[in-house]
Amino acid sequence: MLPLNEHLLNQVLLIAYQAGKHLQRFYQQHIDVQIKEDNTPVTEADLFVSQFLTEKLTALFPQTPVLSEENCHIPFEERQTWKEYWLIDPLDGTQQFINRTEQFSVLITLVRNNKPVLSVIHAPILSLTYYAMEDFGAFKKQGEQVKKLAKNTTDFNRTSCSPILRIAVGATTSQEKVRSILPKDLPCEFVVMGSSSLKSGLVAEGIVDCYVRLGQTGEWDTAGAEVLLGETNGQIFDPQFAPLTYNQRETLINPAFVMVADKSINWTSIFRFN
């Protein structure tokens, strides 16, 4: 098992920054886009950075397997024996990258005994990095400024004055769908942001109360957020209000989920999935 310490975290940060430089280079040129079997786009940037991250992590940590979104067809029989592995998304927000919105990131997460324990989310064009490690805290680096993220306690409580519930979504088209699982009289405000991991940053910072995703994502999209939210009093749950799982099923596709900033709120009284 890799020792969870600042040295390890700094090694991973350095690799994420190098990967970000590669993404910046691709961002400045014309790129070919292909459509994958699951009908989502993939670019040469995704594939190049996936290869780069896999080689870098394997060279540094030869005993620790790497599972990438772009190389995820490893049989469950093989990967279920892994006690520890790197879970990476070389380009979280490929569509945002193609659309030139700047809202995309590289994700590297260490998963141990089916639980994410260290993560780096790096958005190179925004000069923004979130990183977290179990029992170490969660941090935001913007440019050269680093701040530790506080534990979230929101004032959102439906019984008192009904403050507005701030919800992050991936697109304006998702708003109506999300509205349908909330009480009709609940005032809410939507914040649109690309890249799943960047929305998790908004939740971890307490800028929004929650991020709702009713469409498909992969385990690589949420693993980094698990560490970030775990260190800031947040959590992620599925429509049964159960936690998401990592490397415990044949499929790596997540169910619908909600990320919340403050897990002490009674979210079962707010979200009505059925």
Which residues fall in the annotated binding site for substrate? 69, 91-94, 221
Question: Which residues carry a binding-site annotation for Mg(2+)?
Answer: 69, 89, 91-92, 221
Question: Which residues carry a binding-site annotation?
Answer: 69, 89, 91-94, 221
The CA distance from 140 to 180, in Å, is 33
Which amino acid is it at 136? Answer: F
The CA distance from 221 to 138, in Å, is 18
